[in-house]
Amino acid sequence: MDNHNSMAEMMAQIEESLKIPRRGSIVKGSIIQVNADVIIVNIGYKSDGVIPRNEVSADANYDLQKNFKAGDELEVFVVSHDNGEGNILLSLRKVNVDKDWEELEAIHEKDEPIMVKVSDAVNGGLIAFYKEIRGFVPASQLSDRFVKNLKPYIGQEIKVKVIEINKLKRRAVFSHKEFAMIEKQAAKDNFWSNIEVGQTVKGEVKRITNFGAFVDIGGMDGLVHVTEMSWGRIKPATDFVRVGQMVEVKIIDANKDENKISLSIKQLSPEPWATFSDKYEVGGVYNGKVVNLTDFGAFVELEPGIEGLVHVSHIAKEHIEKPADVLKVNQVVEVRILEYVAEEKKVKLSMKAVHEPVVTEAAPVDAE
C-alpha cells in the first residue's frame, strides 16, 4: 500500500513538473486581481503569476488599475519560477517590446510619423516612449531654434519621425523639428488672419533692449518702442516693464510681409493734453515733479506727458542765480498755473505765485 502511495505521489509530482511553465516561454493567463503596483495572473498552475509594474511598462507613472481589470486575458512572458515569494514572475513588456521594435522598424522604413510620450528631460534632449520602446529626442531636433528649457515637454505627447533605429542595440532616435515648424507656421498664419491694428491684447514681456521691449502677444513678438511706453519723458524700458510681466498693449502697426508688429502701452490711455482743460485751470495750484533744470528755469511735470516751465524769476521771491541752486530733479513742488495753450502743449507755471496774487505779466516760456 505504501509502495502504491509512493508511486502515485511520484507520478503526481512528475505530472505537476510537466505543468510548470518553461522560463522564457510565452503563456496565456487570466487576470485575477489588479493592485496599484502589481497584476496577479492565473496561468493554470498551482502558483499564481505576478506582473510588477516595471514589467508592464517602462513608464513609472503607468496606471495599472486604469488599464487592466480582473478577467482580462493576456499573453505573458515567464521570467522565473519564483519571484522570491513563491509566485511565478511574469512580464508583459517582454511580450510586447519585440512586437514594438518590429512595428517601429516598419514605420521607419515608410518614414511615417508617430506620437511619443515624453517621460523626462536629460542633458541634451528628452526621453520619450513609443509604446514600450524608450527613445531619445535630441534638443536640436525639437525646433528650428535652440530650445533651452526642456521641462515643459515632460508629460506631453509630441509627433515625431524615427531618424535612427537599431534593434540590436535597443536604440531609437526621434525628431520633432519638422512638426514644430509646421505648428509654428500654422500658428503664424492663424495670428495674421486674426490680427487687426487698433486691437488691445495681452502679452508677456520676453526681452528688453535699449530701444524698447518685445512682447509675445500669442505666438508673435511685437515691439513696444521706448517712445510708446509712456506719455511722459522717454526713459529706459526697464523703468516701465520687466521680463516675464504680463502687460496690456495696443497694436498700432502690423506688417505681415516684414513680420513686424508695433505695440503701444501709452495709447491705452488718452493723450494728456487732449483733456488738459478738464483737469487744470489758470490760477489753480497743483503738485508737480521737477524733471529738468536749465539756466533759465525748471521744467515741472504735472502728470506724465504734461510739463510746464517755471521761469527762474518765478521760483522764489528772492533772486535765484541758477535753478539748480535751490531745486533738484524729482523734487515735488507746488505750482500755480499762470497761462496755458493746450494746442501748443505749453503751460507757464510759478512757484512763488502759489502764496501771492497771480502775476499777470509772466515771463515767456522758453523752449527746452
Assess whether 71 and 113 both reside in one domain.
no
pTM for the model: 0.54
Number of domains comprising the chain: 4
Q: How much is the pLDDT for 10?
A: 67
> Would residue 44 count as lying in a domain?
yes
Q: What is the DSSP string of 45-107?
A: SSSPEEEEGGGT-S-TT--HHHH--TT-EEEEEEEES--SSSSEEEESHHHHHHHHHHHHHHH
- Position 96 in a domain: no
Q: Is residue 189 part of a domain?
A: no
Cα separations in angstroms, 257 against 114, 122, 174, 195, 254: 34, 39, 34, 14, 9
Domain holding 132, by residue range, is 101-181
Asked if residue 254 and residue 307 are part of one domain, the reply reads: no
214 pLDDT more than 80: yes
Instruction: Report the alpha-carbon distance of residue 38 to residue 32 in Å, rounded.
Output: 11
Confidence band of 26 (pLDDT split at 50, 70, 90):
confident
Q: 237 with 311, same domain?
A: no
Q: Residue range 26-44: average pLDDT?
A: 90
Q: Are 71 and 31 within 8 A, CB to CB?
A: yes
pLDDT of 173 higher than 60: yes
Of 249, 268, 287, which marks where a domain is finished? 268
Higher pLDDT, 78 or 22: 78
Question: Hey, which residues does 165 pair with through a beta bridge?
Answer: 172
User: Which CATH number do you get for residue 26?
Assistant: 2.40.50.140
106 and 124 in a common domain? yes
277 and 261 belong to one structural domain = no
Q: Are both 324 and 283 inside the same structural domain?
A: yes
**Domain for residue 360, yes or no?**
no
